[in-house]
């Protein structure tokens, strides 16, 4: 089931991360935008969205008919969704490191890093590093997929309130230990479990949001005229509060997700329009590919400056955005969609082969 406003919300979040990351390359340091200075929190929105959307699509299949078969089918579906693009991006980023295409030798391509990245377990706290920088969050989400039955069981139990409190406490712990780079929750360490804890907490909050989505009190509170705009305004105020109150922003995010789920007129206007929806479709590609495009364009602009070509920085920025969009559009169609179909085809072929062997 695809709800257009939730898809658009994912697209807006992915573009926010892109704009946040542009000035992280020193070449583009002058293009920092205060509006997106805390867009690292869009990753926490991704985690909450994932918990919510996965519950929307799989809760009944996994929890309604518990067993190894339904669990395995769920995992195959999730791996089919995330692994093909992750593999291609990892291989391309590895080639970038080997050839030094962007002028930035990121990490060592030793056996632990390569193997853990191929298995998507590189950011589980044992010191291995993501070859494609942003893939750290994909790695932690794989852990959330593996733990989904337990997370969903708790979310739909009588101690769901305790799970919610534990998630908020976990986020407070992650934010309070001082490992964040651009802000308290901007934690993606390779050598601690804080990164994994950040994901599991957000994912759990998303599953809890799904539990209450169809409750009367929840709909009465959020699904009302002006509700979507009021939630956006509250998040905006929280983002501008002093001392970077990241936990408050994250605690408001489930309301934003629920408002998009209810798909009211304002949410549809902002999140379901053709641009937002298209960006949502290619959001996974945007999230993984944009650092490479940024770094390559940054090196090209530096070389141009070295040859006396100045005054065209704006064109380089525009070219970077257009190149990112075109690459991600192609990546979605050629890698994400076809990769998913291929893995599902292999799964069905395996089942047919097992069925023939069983009847032979």
pLDDT in tens, the chain (360 residues): 678 999 999 999 999 999 999 999 999 998 888 889 999 999 999 999 999 999 999 998 888 888 898 999 999 999 999 999 999 999 999 998 888 755 555 688 899 999 999 999 999 999 999 999 899 999 999 999 999 999 999 999 999 999 999 999 999 999 999 999 999 999 999 889 999 999 999 999 999 999 999 999 999 999 999 999 999 999 999 999 877 789 999 999 999 999 999 999 999 999 999 999 999 999 999 999 999 999 999 999 999 999 988 888 899 999 999 999 999 999 999 999 999 999 999 988 888 887 787 776
Closest to 200 in 3D by CA, of 42, 50, 62, 10:
50
Helix ranges (H only) for the chain are: 4-21, 41-63, 68-99, 111-118, 135-146, 148-155, 160-176, 194-212, 216-222, 227-240, 246-262, 265-271, 274-281, 283-306, 313-331, 338-359
C-alpha count within 13 angstroms, C-beta hemisphere, residue 137: 23
pTM of the predicted model, to two decimals? 0.94
Tell me how far apart the terminal alpha carbons of the chain are, to the nearest angstrom: 38
CA 288-289-292 angle, to 5 degrees, is 120
Residue 66: partners with Cβ closer than 8 Å, 6 or more residues away: 149
Query: Which residue has tokens 């993606």?
Result: 188
Whether residue 250 contacts residue 44, with contact meaning beta carbons closer than 8 Å, is answered with: yes
């Amino acid at each position: 089931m695809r709800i257009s406003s939730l898809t658009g919300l994912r697209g807006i979040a992915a573009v926010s991360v892109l704009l946040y990351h542009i000035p992280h390359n020193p070449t583009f340091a002058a293009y920092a935008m205060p509006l997106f200075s805390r867009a690292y929190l869009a990753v926490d929105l991704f985690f909450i969205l994932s918990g919510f959307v996965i519950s929307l699509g799989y809760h009944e299949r996994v929890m309604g008919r518990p067993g190894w078969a339904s669990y395995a089918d769920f995992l195959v579906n999730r791996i089919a969704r995330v692994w093909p693009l992750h593999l291609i991006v990892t291989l391309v980023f590895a080639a970038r490191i080997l050839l030094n295409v962007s002028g930035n030798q990121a990490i060592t391509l030793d056996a632990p890093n390569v193997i853990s990245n191929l298995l998507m377990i590189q950011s589980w706290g044992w010191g291995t590093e993501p070859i494609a920088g942003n893939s750290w969050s994909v790695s932690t989400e794989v852990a959330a997929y593996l733990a989904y039955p337990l997370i969903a069981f708790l979310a739909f139990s009588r101690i769901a309130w305790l799970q919610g409190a534990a998630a908020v406490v976990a986020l407070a712990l992650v934010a309070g230990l001082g490992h964040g780079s651009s802000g308290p929750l901007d934690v993606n360490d390779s050598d601690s479990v804080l990164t994994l804890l950040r994901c599991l907490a957000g994912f759990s909050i998303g599953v809890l949001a799904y539990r209450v989505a169809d409750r009367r009190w929840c709909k009465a509170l959020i699904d009302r005229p002006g509700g979507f705009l009021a939630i956006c305004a509250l998040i905006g105020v929280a983002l501008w509060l002093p001392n970077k109150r990241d936990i408050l922003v994250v605690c408001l995010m489930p309301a934003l997700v629920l408002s998009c789920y209810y798909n009211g007129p304002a949410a549809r206007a902002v999140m379901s329009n053709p641009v937002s929806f298209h960006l949502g479709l290619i959001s996974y590609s945007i999230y993984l590919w944009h650092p490479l495009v940024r770094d390559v364009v940054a090196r090209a602009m530096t070389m141009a400056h070295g040859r006396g070509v100045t005054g065209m920085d704006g064109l380089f920025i525009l070219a970077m955005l257009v190149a990112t969009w075109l690459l991600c559009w192609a990546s979605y169609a050629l890698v994400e969609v076809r990769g998913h179909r291929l893995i599902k085809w292999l799964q069905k072929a395996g089942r047919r082969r097992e069925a023939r062997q069983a009847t032979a």
